[in-house]
């Protein structure tokens, strides 16, 4: 024999010609067939048993759809790792600074710990450091510089948006 859990649901006709399933009258239908279909869905093994369960399923599906949508939006990445790192911003700033020197081959930059690199936005960095290089007269002088660097994940290229050298 089958064990019954709770009272058996059966449709009953109520006021106004509507069909009700539970005793509180909170679930009503236009026709007896709709009420019986509801009862069948509630008692079917593995079926969705409540509106709370339906809500959870809908919320999970919506979260997956939104997450997948953000993943595939072009240029919509906010992952800092996809935008390079501070070390690469520093190395690329050295190339931008070298292009503005009188004797770029003589340039000597400090090691990374002596430079200051700050991520200012998702794919943007501010770099401050110094360079020792020969001037027009051949004398080696120290100049401090700052550079705003930007990485483009789509083209995988670095660009110096602003380079200032204090001479």
Query: Is-contact 116 90, C-beta < 8 A?
Result: no
Query: Is-contact 145 166, C-beta < 8 A?
Result: yes
Give me the pLDDT at residue 130, please: 96
* Distance (Å, whole) CA 30 – CA 148: 68
**What are the structure tokens assigned to 52, written together?**
């709370």
Q: Could you tell me the CA-to-CA distances from 81 to 113, 141, 145 in Å, in that order?
A: 20, 36, 26
Query: Is-contact 124 149, C-beta < 8 A?
Result: yes
* Distance (Å, whole) CA 136 – CA 160: 24
pLDDT under 70: residue ranges of the chain: 1-9, 19-20, 22-26, 42-52, 66-81
User: pLDDT tens, 71-116?
Assistant: 555 544 556 667 878 999 999 999 999 999 999 999 999 999 999 9
Give me the pLDDT at residue 53, please: 73
């Amino acid at each position: 024999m089958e064990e019954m859990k709770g009272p058996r649901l059966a449709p009953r006709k109520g006021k106004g010609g509507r069909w009700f399933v539970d005793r509180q009258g909170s679930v009503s239908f236009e026709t007896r067939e709709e009420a019986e279909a509801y009862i069948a869905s509630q008692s079917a093994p593995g079926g969705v048993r409540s509106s709370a369960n339906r809500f959870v399923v809908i919320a999970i599906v919506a979260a997956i759809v939104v997450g997948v949508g953000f993943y595939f939006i072009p240029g919509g990445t906010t992952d800092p790792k996809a935008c390079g790192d501070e070390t690469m911003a520093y190395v690329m700033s050295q190339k931008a600074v070298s292009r503005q020197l009188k004797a770029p081959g003589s340039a000597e930059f400090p090691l990374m710990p002596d430079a200051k690199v700050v991520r200012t936005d998702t794919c943007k960095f501010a770099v401050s450091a110094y360079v020792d290089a020969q001037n027009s007269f051949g004398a080696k002088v120290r100049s401090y510089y700052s550079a705003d660097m930007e990485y483009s994940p789509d083209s995988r290229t670095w660009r110096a948006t602003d380079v200032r050298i204090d001479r």
